[in-house]
Chains A and B, each alone.
Chain A
């Protein structure tokens, strides 16, 4: 039941912002379901696949999906994600997480002032 509620919230944000929903799903699984980080991130990825298909169909109806550009950024990411999951099994990710946090914040500032 908690999972369904988390899904309902995540789906709305996912489609509104074009993000997978993992940013909603992962912390909620950690906080409210007491999952450990690896199951939470892995299960979140699987759930995002279903959500993204639903969102893509709706945006495609509005003519807002560009297949060429999706391939341009999506395919390199698909290449590096396998490498990253392998790394996650072995590595202490704290430093990487802090670097990402700084990078994401910088992107936010750019988008706001653009």
Chain B
């Protein structure tokens, strides 16, 4: 049953990634926590799970001519550097603190998606 849920949430995460340009990790992390991983494992594992999703997503988007490659390289390389700091901070935090921060992040994301939906309406 848990595995069915994992696969179903994986499918939803992929939809989110394709339509909204987020990597799917927003849903991977809570899914992995449901599966019994601790917060740090869920976050590390989520980053790995993101990779196939973004590869497929990027490939599909590039066929529509939507990817600006030079910009993506500038963003990605800069982000890869500060990612090391992010991991160091996460590893220094208590699991409960990290989970609550993540919940806070999700609230912000929900608000942002709703805001974008309203914006595209006008």
A: which residues have CB within 8 A of B?
Answer: 3-23, 25-27, 30, 37-56, 58-60, 62, 64-67, 69-89, 93-94, 96-98, 100-105, 107-112, 114
Contacts and interface: CB of A to CB of B under 8 A. Distances in A.
Contact of B60 (A19, A76, A86, A111): A86
B113 A101 contact: yes
Nearest to B46: A18
> Mostly helix, strand, loop or mixed at chain B's interface?
helix
Contacts of A62: 40, 44, 87, 91
A26 B22 contact: yes
Interface of B: 3, 6-33, 35, 37, 40-58, 60-62, 64, 66-69, 71-91, 99-107, 109-114, 116-117, 120-121
B54 A20 contact: yes
Contacts of B83: 11-12, 14-15, 51, 54-55, 58
Contact of A54 (B18, B29, B84, B113): B84
Contacts of B121: 94
- A-B pairs with lowest CB-CB distance, top 4: A20-B23, A41-B21, A84-B18, A7-B78
Residue among A49, A74, A75, A88 facing the most chain B CB atoms (10 A cut-off): A74
Given A18-B44, A66-B45, A100-B113, A72 B22 contact: no
Contacts of A98: 113-114, 117
Nearest to A41: B21
B7 A52 contact: no
Residue among B13, B14, B28, B74 facing the most chain A CB atoms (10 A cut-off): B14
